[in-house]
Amino acid sequence: MMTTRIKVGLTAGTCLIFSQSLMAEVSVFNPALLEIDHQSGVDIRQFNRANLMPPGVYSVDIFINGKMFERQDVTFVQDNPDADLHACFVAIKKR
């Protein structure tokens, strides 16, 4: 019984120690590195996320079941400033 408690305690302690090193590191871009006037008026929040594409229309290759279907212009939108982009597809016509 006592050895079981010791094993559980050691396992929990080890997990706590190593979980700190496995936590994702958050990177934030420092606007002071930019050589621009009036840095306080610059909004660079979108560059603090992994998704760096701004909303807009992009030419994309569309694959269906692993086969190239066609290249098409697709509109990518962002529902709010903190959301990732998502594609807005129109109906794809059969060939």
Task: Return the CATH class of domain 51-94.
Answer: alpha beta
Residue 67 confidence (pLDDT): 93
> Mind listing the pLDDT tens digit for each residue in 35-67?
667 666 667 666 666 667 788 999 999 898 999
Average pLDDT, rounded, for the chain: 71
What DSSP line would sit under 42-76, residue for residue? ---GGGGSS--PPSEEEEEEEEETTEEEEEEEEEE
**What pLDDT does residue 3 have?**
54
Q: Strand, helix or coil at 31?
A: helix
Cα-based angle 57, 58, 64 (whole degrees, multiple of 5):
120
pLDDT higher at 47 or 11: 47
pTM above 0.85, yes or no: no
Report the DSSP beta bridge partners of residue 88.
75
So where are the chain's domains?
51-94
- pLDDT top residue among 55 and 2: 55
Does 83 score more than 70 pLDDT? yes
Question: Is 48:30 a contact under the CB 8 Å cutoff?
Answer: no
- pLDDT value at 13 more than 60: no
The two structure tokens encoding residue 12: 């929990």
